[in-house]
Amino acid sequence: MTVPVRSLLFADAREAADLAAFLGRLLHYDRAAAVRLQAGGGALAVFGRPPSFEVLAIRTARLAGVHDFDATVSAGELLEALDPEALDTDGEAGLDALPAPVTGPPWAGVLPPRGGWREHPGLPGPPVLRTELADAVAEFRARDAALPEDRRTRTERDVIGRDIWSRTVGGTPLPLRAVHAAQSLGFLRWAPDFPVALLTAGAWLRLRTPYGSIALRGAGGGLGTLAVTVGTA
């Protein structure tokens, strides 16, 4: 059984390829990942939650034609459907039908608002973010290596990770784990003029770049149990 959405067409093949790259990175952290899809206004928004970071990752793709649907599907099955050999071969990048829907994980019912976002001042530029991220990764590895053999456990590493990745960036409330997630999922570039912004809407924070966004609830409004062990870039 498939979702009753036919002829999902992307604006061009690059949109489909970029989405496939995002899904591949998401599956690196969770082979059983699900994604929530929302289509409307000529765009497809894809929401995922890489467990190593406990944030929501958002990737958009431009669509051709009129699409209006909301569905949660397997990220792996969607990636298979986006394989170039599985896409239409008549010059259009699209799918005849989406994968079958799956029961949505709890996070899929708690998405950030669509509107009401305001820019929050104080976010450092990409060069500073890169330095802070590199320093944090180096600190995590050094503290992990310094653990006695009998304490080198997941619990101890989580304690170290929680201390490091919950630190805020610059003068903002954005935790460093959000920057780490954005870098690991391919959303960040380190050029000085690369456009990156921090937005807020109610309790939500959103790190936005041209390649995607990382969203999370502020203090007291998290997305569940915090797991902040270092991820693989």
**Model's pTM, two decimal places?**
0.87
For residue 31, is pLDDT > 90? yes
Q: What is the dihedral of CA 71, 76, 79, 81, to 10 degrees?
A: -70
**Residues 138, 140, 142: CA angle, nearest 5 degrees:** 70
Split at pLDDT 50, 70, 90, the class of 95 is confident
CATH topology of domain 6-109: DNA Polymerase III; Chain A, domain 2 (3.10.150)
pLDDT 10s digits, 51-70: 989 899 999 999 998 889 99
Q: Which residues have C-beta within 8 Å of that of residue 226, sequence separation ≥ 6?
A: 54, 162, 166
Least confident of 8-12, 41-45, 144-148: 8-12
One-letter amino acid of 169: V
Mean pLDDT of the chain: 87
pLDDT 10s digits, 155-208: 999 999 999 999 999 989 999 999 999 999 999 999 999 999 999 999 999 999
| Domain layout of the chain by residue ranges | 6-109, 118-201+211-217
Residue in 200, 223, 199, 219 with CA at minimum distance from that of residue 209: 199
